[in-house]
Structures are given as structure tokens and as C-alpha cells.
A and B are shown apart, each in its own frame.
Chain A
Amino acid sequence: MDAMQDDRTELDTLAERGEAALRDRNVRYYLREGLPAALASTVLPPLLVVLVQFAQRLAGVAPWQPSAWMIAAAMLLTGLGAALLITNWARRLPVDRNAALGLLDAAAGAEERLVTADALLQAGAAHDPFAAAAIEDARWFLRPAVDAPLAVPANPPPTSSLPRGVLYALAGVALLFGAAHPLGLDRGEAALADADDGAVRIADISRERPKDPRTPEPIEEPTSEPAVPEAKPDGRSREAKAASRPTELPDDASRKEGRGGAGRSAEAQASRGESDARGAPSNQGQESKKPPVVKKPLKTKKKRAKRKKKPTKSEEPKPASGEESGSTAGKGSSQGSNRNPVTSEWTSKDQVSSDEEDEVEDDEEVEDEEVDSEARGGVQPNLRDRRPPVSRDLTIGFGNQPNPNANGRGGPSQPKKSRGTASLVLGVPIPDRIKGQPNPGKTKVTQERVEPRREHAPLQRAEPRMPRQGPAGSLAKPELTPWMRALLRDWFLRMRTQETKKR
């Protein structure tokens, strides 16, 4: 009993040694892997300063300007903090005891004897003869395992890379933010220098714009109020703003349509309801008359795929300025439709018909079936998402209408298709040959739902069968010998005599 206790203690010591080695390996590995992210995280303090300055400018407050050494210290602290975070996280990663002892097993050449002895001791199977022998067997390797140098692999198994991903994401966001708002420290300093009596001249940003020599120089008038709404630096050029501004319709088009859309063609009016439902509301802030249509929760995959491929009307690229929607101009329809009222009749028809086709195809397949077939190849039922079996109704159909539920399948698994009565329903065996296999391979049976068809054939009329009228032709007539003739004559005479007597 004491020996077993000693074994357990020694195994615990060995396990701790292995776990410590694996933890050190984890720390080294994740620190090495996470170093770029830690360095990238040093971008955060300067970015924070820029953001603060930006917010202060928006609020009309004099921007806070930290000194360079302060920013450098913050960057250093951020990098060190990220490294410490990674180290702490890696050190706390769980290390399996079996893995730790397996490491020592490999080092001592024990062929898992240490892990086995540990498992048997923990299971309390020490009284079993073979378990006791296995534990004794492991005793020979305890001492070599203590002294053996551990060959810890450099890379741990793939685990969650959350901290590294988070750091990269943070750094990425910071860089993106910085790129989207090109306000650097130097510019902040310039703005600070230009600031006078608390008034912020954000109009300085427009200095970068190419100046038009024909336009006169704007006269700068110092004002006590910040010109926030007009001079809002949104990073867009004047040309881009002009391009994004909705183009006004020609006068005749707006007149033709009128306020209620009376000037539209019939097709355009017919398609208006659909476009009202799906189209983006007008950017003029006008309300849509129709209530918003709530999407169905269950959509087919095909429909989603189509939506992914084909942009919705609100996502469609805006046409050129000459083809701009009349409704978006704010002078025509108040329905919120972005469809062009002056487009041709053909265009409107196409748009309507394509929507209807979408709806028709939506009802054909349900997404769940496709998801299941993708997950397991339509073969073996997965126990976790077991569903009630598909209908076993084998009815072929009602008249010309096929029964939609009558697929005869006992469940989603493929091999069951060829069993039972379903296999008798008009199956067409198609032998398939597998390349490189001498036999024909498995027989694939394709079932089709067809109705029995009537075959046309010439009618046969029933008529009475009469005795033969014509000559029978030449018949063989063997010649009888005299004694046979006498016998036949006697037999007939005797028969006639008997009949006469009966009468």
C-alpha cells in the first residue's frame, strides 16, 4: 500500500514537471506569436490622442496636446501591457495531465507506462493482478523520467487565438480609423497654432483642395461662432458631393408624372408597389404611404443566393446623372420609389416579371433539406439533429396532380430508398461502372413518378366461330388390312345392336 502511495506521489511530481514544461512552452510560443500584435497595439495611444483632439474640435474646445515623451511612455506601456496579457493568458492555458505524463513517457521511453500507471492508480484498480503488474512495470521508469531531458515540441496544438486576434483587430481598427481621418499630430499642432481666442478654424482643411483660378478668393471673416454644419470635414471632395447630389428631372418629366404619379406608364405604376416595399426611401425625407413589409422568417437558400448575387434595388449602383430617379429628385412621386418613371415599358415589365419568378422559385425547395444534404451527403442520419422521418405515403398522385408528400422515403438516409415498397415503384436500374473496378459496381436505381399510359392497338371484334366450310384438303388415309376392317365392322355392328336393344 505504501508502495502505491509512493508511486502516486512520484507520478504527481512528474506530472507537475511535465505541466511546467508545457506551460513554459505555451508562454514562449504565444509570446513569440503575439509579439507583432503587441507592437501593433502601441498605435493605440497616438490614435487615442487624435480621437480626443478630433472630438474636442467638434465640440469647439481647444485640443489637448500631450508632450512627445508622454505619448512615447504610453506607447511603451501599451506594448508591455499587451505582452503581459499574452503571457498571463498563455500561462493559464489548461495543460492536460495525460499530456504532461506522456511527455515524460516519451522522454524515458516508457511506452505510456507512466500514463497508464497514473490512470490505473486514479481508477483504484491497483488490486487487479494485471493493473498491479502494470503499475509495478511503470516503477522502473520513474527514476529515468525524473532525470530525462524533456523534448517539448515548439508548437502547441491549435487553440483559441482570441488575444492575438483581438489585438490585431484593435490595431487594424486603429489603422483604418487613422487612414480614414488623416488628422495627424502635426496637423493638430497647426490647428492649435491657428486657433485664436477659442475659435477653431476648421476651414483650414480646405486648403488642400485644388484651387480654381476662376473662382474668387473667399474672404475670411473671423467669427465668434464655430461654423460647424457648413464646414464639417467629411473627407469628401466638392466634386464627389456634386456627383452624389440627386439630379433634378427635366421639367417635362416631372410634369408628366404629376403629384400622384398619374403621368407614369401603367407598367411603372404596377411595379410601383413592389418597389415601394423593397426600395430605399427617398432621400428627401418623404414618407412612404405603404407600411413596410416584414420579411418572412423562412427563406429558401436559392433566394438568399440570388439576393447576394443580384443587388437589391436600394443597393443597385446609381445610374448616371441623366438617368436619375424622378422620385429621388423630390418633385415627382412621394412613394419613396427610386424607380425611374420615364423608363420604357419594357424595363418595367422585366422588373415585375423577375420578381414574380423569384417568388415562384422560392416555394420549391426549403433550405433545411439542402443544409442537411450538405452536412452528411444525404447518407447517415445525424443523431443530434434527428427529425421525424419523411412521409411514407406512397400514393402516386391525385389525378394529374402529383402528391407532393409522397416520396416513399422512410427517412433522410439514402440506402433506405431502395427498400420496401418504394423500390417496386417504377424503378429503372442503371448500372454504373466505377473507374478502375472490374465489376459493374453498385446498381443505382432512379425512381420516377409517372402515371400509367394507355397504349393504342387495333380493336379485335368478337365474332362466332363457324365450322369450316371449305375443303379440308388432302388427308392421309391409311389403307386398312382385311382383318382390321372386319374388326371395325364388327365393333360398329355390336354398338348399334346394343343401342337398338336399349330402345
Chain B
Amino acid sequence: MSTESAAARKSAEEFKATYAKIEAQIQRMMVGQEDVIEGVLTALLAGGHVLLEGVPGLGKTLLIASLGRAVDLSFSRIQFTPDMMPADIIGTQVLVEKEGGGHEVRFQEGPLIANVVLADEINRATPKTQSALLQAMQERQISVGRKTIDLEEPYCVMATQNPVEQEGTYPLPEAQLDRFLFKLVVGYPQESEYSAILDRTVGDDEIQIDAVSNGKEIMAMRHVVRQVPVPEHVKQYAIQLVMGTQPGSDYAPGLVNESVALGSSPRGAQALLLAGKVCALLAGRFAVNTDDVRKVARNALRHRVMVNFQGQSDGVSADDVVEAVLAHVKPATEAAVR
């Protein structure tokens, strides 16, 4: 075993250990939803943002709040409402008294300035307020007047939205949807999980979540993720998957050409590979393979595909489109063996 590979193995083992500790803390609070927990942690470690979609009462907010406590990061929650303005989340200039007398204008930070930001029911805010998140999510900085404030890393926006109550909501613009690494769909718990949920929530015992990691460790883990190599055939597979969602491309199946108005951008391929790297490390491998890419494809691509009017009327969902692309595009390792 060479010294280089020994260092990589040690980093990968530490990565897995820290991940397991954080996951265990979250699972003290959350019952079931392993896929969602894994998706949220994957996005956090890949350096992306997460959009959680699910009906009320499934623990979306609880999950993110638990994560904030388990990682010991500054956590803020924004409850989005239609009358909210950008200054309400970014911050604003306020007139304050000086200690020695007189007044001065000082910037009062908004809730957007934190490590983990829970944007609850993000689709209830107007597009103007939603757009205030764009710069923070992409460039990790916000501009207020002439001032630009760098946000502290690790920075992660975790937004929730409710797919049912669509009246009085503002669907997220494509530019913002594209900035989310994952869109996770939170489903109902299993029958066997209800008992544990009730035991934990209706009793008198208060569940404590310990901070088992911190921002520095998360940043180190992100660095490890970036070091994982991607073989050429996996890269090509990710590219072909993304192109497969674009109508008119060589890799697009018939469903995409008929029912998709807008396919994924190159950010989709970035998301596939970054999340695939996390999956590879968690699986005990040191390089990404096509199974990793395939595993994260649904979460990474579903919100980047816009179904057209015909597709909506035919009942085609973005998940159907991604499934069709996955069935149509085969990696090089399978293409000749199929």
C-alpha cells in the first residue's frame, strides 16, 4: 500500500465515520425517511442546497432543524409568506444610537446569514423575495446597497415546499430551481414507523441531539469529496444523462422529445458527479462508478426538467422523464453487453 493511497484511505474512513455519527443523531429525532436523510447529508457534504417537497406533517422542518443541531452550525429559519420582502431575509440598514452620542446607520443582518438556512415553505414568497436567495445560493455572498457580504462556509440553504396547497403560492423560477443540488420528495412513513413516531412525540421525554460535528469538519469532508476521481466513462455517462433530458438531443428518448419543454443545464451534470462522489465514499470506493450516478440521478435531475403543456395533460411527471432517460441511456460498460 503506497503512502498516497494510505492517506486517501484514512480520509475516506474518517469521512464515513463522521457521516455515520451525524446520521445517527438525526435518526434519534427522525423515524424512517432514510433516503431523505441520506439525500440531505449528501447535499450538505457535496456543497449543495436541498429542496424538500412533501405534504405537511412529514418532518421536513424537523429534519433540517435536527441537522442544524447535530452539526453545530449557526442555524436560522425563515418562514416565507407572501408579504415578505427581500430586506426581511437579507437584512437592512437601521439607524442606531452611538455609545458616545449621535446616530449612525448600521447593517442589521437578516436570517439569510447563517450556516444552515431553513427556508420554510419557500414557494409562499413572491418571486422578488425568492430571487433574493439566488446570489446567496450560487455565489455564497449577498449584496446590500454598496456592500457585499461573504457568507460563512459551510453554507447550505434547505428549503421546503408543499406540493398540495398551490393556491396563493409562487412556483420557484427555473433559475432558482437549478441552484438546488437535490430535490427530495418526502413520502409518508411506513406502517411500522408510525409506532416509533408516536412514542417519540406524544410522550414526556425530550429527545436531545448532540452536536457531533462542526463547520470545520464539514469543510474537510467537502474537500475529501472533491478529491474523489471520476473515470472518463462515468463522466460521459453523466453528460449523456443530462443531454438525455434535453429535447432534440441525440440521447433523448421519445418521451423527452414529446413532453419536455426544458431539460437540465450543465449544473445537472455537476450535481450528478458531486453527489456521486459522496455515494462512492459512503460505499467504500475511491472512485465514482455509473451506479453512483444512477443512484443520485432522480434527486439531481427531477427539478431541472420542465414538462410541457402536452406532458402535463398526459399526466407525465418529471420523475417519469428521468426514469425514461435512465432506461434509454446506457453507460459504456453496459452498452455493448446489454
Contact = CB atoms under 8 A, between A and B. Distances in A.
Query: Are chains A and B native binding partners rather than an unrelated pairing?
Result: yes
Interface of A: 22, 95-96, 98-103, 105-106, 111-113, 115-116, 119-120, 123, 125, 127-134, 136-137, 152-153, 155-157, 375-377, 379-380, 382, 414-415, 432, 434-439, 441-442, 444
A102 B337 contact: yes
A441 B312 contact: yes
A99 B229 contact: no
17 contacts: A22-B337, A96-B332, A100-B336, A116-B234, A119-B231, A130-B12, A130-B286, A131-B286, A132-B2, A376-B248, A377-B310, A380-B262, A380-B263, A432-B309, A438-B164, A438-B167, A444-B309
Given A152-B337, A414-B261, A442-B309, A129 B233 contact: no
Contacts of A415: 261
A153 B262 contact: no
Contact of B315 (A106, A131, A134, A435): A435
B338 A157 contact: yes
A103 B227 CA distance: 28
Interface in B320-338: 330-338
A112 B166 contact: no
B143 interface: no
Contacts of B247: 376-377, 379-380
A99 B336 CA distance: 6
Contacts of A376: 247-248, 257
B113 to A, nearest CB: 33
Nearest first, the 3 closest Cβ-Cβ pairs linking A and B are A102-B333, A99-B336, A439-B166
B333 A99 contact: yes
B337 A111 contact: no
Given A120-B287, A382-B248, 14 more contacts: A99-B332, A99-B337, A105-B333, A106-B337, A120-B229, A129-B227, A131-B229, A132-B4, A133-B286, A134-B229, A157-B336, A380-B262, A414-B261, A436-B315
B232 A112 contact: no
Contacts of B313: 434-435
Interface string B275-296: 0000000010111011100000
A429 B153 CA distance: 45
Given A380-B247, A437-B312, A442-B309, A112 B291 contact: yes
Contacts of A129: 4-5, 7-8, 11, 227
B300 to A, nearest CB: 19
Contact of A99 (B257, B310, B335): B335
Contacts of A106: 337
Given A127-B4, A129-B4, A112 B289 contact: yes
A314 to B, nearest CB: 39
Contacts of B338: 153, 155-157
B245 to A, nearest CB: 11
Q: Which of B11, B263, B335 has the most CB of A within 10 A?
A: B335
Contact of B261 (A98, A133, A379): A379
Nearest to B332: A98
A125 B4 CA distance: 12
Contacts of A439: 166-167, 169
A369 B26 CA distance: 56
A119 B233 contact: yes
Interface residues of B, number: 51
Contacts of A130: 8, 12, 227-229, 286-287
Interface of B: 1-2, 4-5, 7-9, 11-12, 164, 166-167, 169, 227-229, 231-234, 246-248, 257-258, 260-263, 283, 285-287, 289-291, 308-310, 312-313, 315, 330-338
A441 B308 CA distance: 11
A111 B285 contact: yes
Q: Which of A105, A123, A130 has the most CB of B within 10 A?
A: A130
Contacts of A436: 315
Contact of A102 (B11, B286, B334): B334
A42 to B, nearest CB: 32
A122 to B, nearest CB: 8
A115 B248 contact: no
Contacts of B290: 112
Contact of A136 (B1, B233, B332): B1
Contacts of A377: 247, 257-258, 261, 308, 310
Contacts of B2: 132, 136
Contacts of A382: 248
Contact of B285 (A105, A113, A152): A113
Contacts of A105: 333
Contacts of A437: 166, 312
A120 B313 CA distance: 47
Contacts of A435: 313, 315
Contacts of A98: 233, 332-333
B286 A123 contact: no
Nearest to A156: B336
Contacts of A442: 309
Given A375-B248, A438-B167, A96 B336 contact: yes
Contact of A134 (B286, B334, B335, B336): B286
Contact of A132 (B5, B166, B335): B5
A377 B258 CA distance: 7
Contacts of B233: 98, 115, 119
Contacts of B312: 434, 437, 441
A123 to B, nearest CB: 7
Contacts of A153: 337-338
A450 to B, nearest CB: 25
A115 B333 contact: yes
A410 B235 CA distance: 35
Contacts of B283: 111
Q: Which of A116, A382, A415 has the most CB of B within 10 A?
A: A116
Contacts of A155: 338
Contact of A380 (B232, B246, B336): B246
Contacts of B167: 438-439
